[in-house]
Amino acid sequence: MRERIDAFAADDKTRGQYDSLMIKGQALQQKQQAGLPLDGGEITAFETLREEFLNNPVARGFLDAQEEMHKLQQSVAQYVSKTFELGRVPEEADLDHGGGGCGNGGCGCKH
């Protein structure tokens, strides 16, 4: 994860794409929240920027690393929360590994 984040941080072009995409996305969101009509050209420009960004391998690696980091943070938070809930360090069977499962907390089947 760290290598992909570092590669993104070192790539001025990709960071510029990201910044432009975030600025345009926020502008569209603010306009929509204000009840203003969205211009087709604005949406097309945003979608074009988005496609260019997602087709950039450095950007894709960065986004994947962000998602992995988010999942890791969720796992740590769940572990800490379960520790407080149980008053002890949880065992594998105590943890709900998400994804719906078969109802057997910690079975890992991910049905």
Average pLDDT estimate for 78-85: 92
- Given its phi and psi angles, is residue 73 left (phi above 0), alpha (psi -120 to 50 degrees) or beta? alpha
pLDDT tens for each residue of 16-60: 999 999 999 999 999 999 999 998 999 999 999 999 999 999 999
The one-letter code for the residue type at 84 is F
Q: How far apart are CA 96 and CA 111, in angstroms?
A: 13
For residues 87-108, average pLDDT: 65
Residue 96: enclosing H or E segment and its boundaries? none
Euclidean distance between CA atoms 101 and 15, whole angstroms: 38
Query: Are the beta carbons of 62 and 7 closer than 8 angstroms?
Result: yes
Domain chopping of the chain, boundaries: 2-68
Higher pLDDT, 105 or 26: 26
